[in-house]
Structure 1
């Protein structure tokens, strides 16, 4: 694979044919186009192609690693990443144009998303027959350079986490409030926390849930009203 002198933006919108649909929708503003392209539909269309085509590359193709990386969870679907692919190396870079502004003033959520992309990339490296050497923040003169992954031929190791990559998605369905979780479920979740400084608080009564709903709705309204963030 030939080297790129400039970072190559590989995102969910551009890795496959979905780019034309999104750009066309923005330019034409036609709701019919969104409908026909499946952008609004929750189960089909170019916006969902990366989840079904992420393994369409030939084994060992570095693009296969990036296709797995871009399916990572990231705050507000900002997709704050750039990838630069060379013969035996992939660089992960922060895309500052995708910053969430006042919603993420310290870049914490952005870097959590970048870490998720890096984790997916390394899982895909093993599944595609690569061993790797990871270097974090390798170039201090370029703060946007998050990591470099140097790849070497190795055994193919496909883990259960790798197989789970395409199943990660946002659940936007309403909560089912007709069922009550057993006490054992709460206890199991509490045992996952081993930090003394963190306290888990459960909102189980309707009054408590309604109060939290009002707070969350107010926070969402404040976010949408923030011009800089928008």
Structure 2
């Protein structure tokens, strides 16, 4: 487990600093090297998201990771909207293509959310999306396909990842609390945008909301570490990381 390397493919530049921030909390020597994948258009819009998550874009990123950082133990496409936009089957094909190129276990943030809910025994959630409503609806469908019911959706209707990355921590905490208040029966709150800075807030989010809050960058790195065989309890990274495998 010591020396585990999880490669992160991250679109553009918004909240990529969440990964070195999290890496500093990993006490076993695990690393999260990151490569920025091509983002020709920064927009939470279907055509732009299909382009961001194209197999050619991810393959180029995977090859760059290998060239810059050497052998990986797992790889994660750290983009929620750029995976679920393909639908359940398309998202699975996307991961399979990435796995074939990288030669190691692979996943995406969309599937990481599903597996994180399964780890916590969660099937009813409230969704706090930064996306426009039509994009958020596609994630609702993706989750439903995997047995997760979204009780309420709050969509902030922010078009660009760059703008999402500027939201201050107090705004994120208030947003999560408002999402939870709208759905008291939800077992968890999901914040599904890797452009949102959350790693420094994970424990505070859970405390503020009073139930698990799953965020995109959190579940992405958790999924990668899990696939790489480094699935251990880790403090400071929220309820998800403090919940051991059954």
Shorter-chain TM-score range: under 0.3
More helix by share: 2
TM-score normalized by the length of structure 1: 0.28
Name the structure, 1 or 2, with higher relative contact order (CA <8 Å, separation 6+).
2
